[in-house]
Amino acid sequence: MPIKTGTTAEAGIPTIDRDTCIACGRCVSVCSSETLLLEDGRVLVDYESSLGCVGCAQCAAVCPTNSITVTGRGLRPDDLLPVPPACERATAEHLDALLLRRRSVRCFTGEPVSTADIDRVLTMATRAPMGLPPSDVGVVVFQGRERVQELAEDCVRVMEGWLKWARPPLLKLARPFIGKAFYESATTFMVPALRLIVEKRRAGEDWLLYDAPAALLFHLSPYADPADSTIAATYAMLAAESLGLGTCMIGTVGYLVGYTKALKAKYGVPVANKPGLILLLGHPAVEYQRALRRRFASVTDSHNREHPHAIQAT
């Protein structure tokens, strides 16, 4: 049975060109749904395989004689692109330089982010892997400071409503139900941060979306792996960095939009979808003179011993 997602209920359909197929079996070895089989020197398509073709198109991508096409599950005939040559691949040094240079930018010049840059960022972010193809991630583009500010104002209004309930005695009462970690996060971070954002906004300062000239809100269908939208947002962040843009991920907005049907409707997020991160984009008004070394909370091996990486990093 085909795997249902938010956008499709059909299986992919691999088609083999028998005239050119050399039955090398590469397609079979990369097929993760047992849709392709090698039998008696021929590649066969099992249209009744238990998961159905998921439409990853790995088979067509590895075929040395270009003998496979895959249709269905949103795939288009021109979706197979040439693989960029290895010499164009970012080196580890280049990638690490990009990663080390990146900081969360909260000070932007007034310069708008061009449509071409947003388009480039989105195109690069579509390269992100997903739990299951086709992508169930949607993006709402807020282009221009006014659009971003409208969202900030909408969110702050929701925050004001929430803060009426988030009083210390009520939070204490709720503690057995919300758990220790959530209670401690709420009292030490979430509630004070929301109060600060509201106060600042009413004083004319945007401490939620930092007067950014553009923002991308990632949301995903209930069928998708919950990590998908975060991975897409991360790819978009790195893509924007590669274009010289500054970025900042914002977690708060997703919760605010997610729990407010009117905001979902206003911004075109399907009612069943879960908003995730928002990614701010803009031209940085700050230049960092130093990068920062960071460490994971723990790195252990499978015997629960400290991994050499963790020892080196201390």
Ligand X SMILES: Cc1cc2nc3c(=O)[nH]c(=O)nc-3n(C[C@H](O)[C@H](O)[C@H](O)COP(=O)(O)O)c2cc1C
Residues binding ligand X (CB under 6 A)? 103-104, 106, 248-252, 277
Residue 246: Cβ-neighbour burial (10 angstroms; 0-12, 13-18, 19+) = buried
Q: Kindly state the smallest distance separating residue 219's Cβ from ligand X, in Å.
A: 15
C-beta atoms surrounding 143 within 10 Å: 17
Q: Which is nearer to ligand X, 36 or 239 (CB)?
A: 239
Q: Which is nearer to ligand X, 238 or 249 (CB)?
A: 249
Q: Kindly state the smallest distance separating residue 233's Cβ from ligand X, in Å.
A: 8
Q: Which is nearer to ligand X, 86 or 297 (CB)?
A: 297
Distance, CA of 18 to CA of 257 (rounded, Å): 51
Q: Kindly state the smallest distance separating residue 230's Cβ from ligand X, in Å.
A: 7
Q: State the SS3 of 197-265.
A: HHHHHHCCCCCCCCCCCEEEEEEECCCCCCCHHHHHHHHHHHHHHHCCCEEEEECHHHHHHHCCHHHHH
Q: Which is nearer to ligand X, 11 or 211 (CB)?
A: 211
Q: How far apart are the first and last CA of the chain?
A: 50
Q: Kindly state the smallest distance separating residue 277's Cβ from ligand X, in Å.
A: 6
Instruction: Estimate to the nearest angstrom the gap between the alpha carbon of 236 and the chain centroid.
Output: 7
Task: Answer for the pair 207, 280: CB distance below 8 angstroms, yes or no.
Answer: no
Alpha helices in the chain (DSSP H): 26-30, 58-62, 92-101, 115-125, 145-165, 168-178, 180-185, 191-202, 228-242, 252-258, 261-267, 308-313
Q: Which is nearer to ligand X, 106 or 219 (CB)?
A: 106
Q: Kindly state the smallest distance separating residue 103's Cβ from ligand X, in Å.
A: 3
Q: Which is nearer to ligand X, 73 or 106 (CB)?
A: 106
Q: Kindly state the smallest distance separating residue 238's Cβ from ligand X, in Å.
A: 12
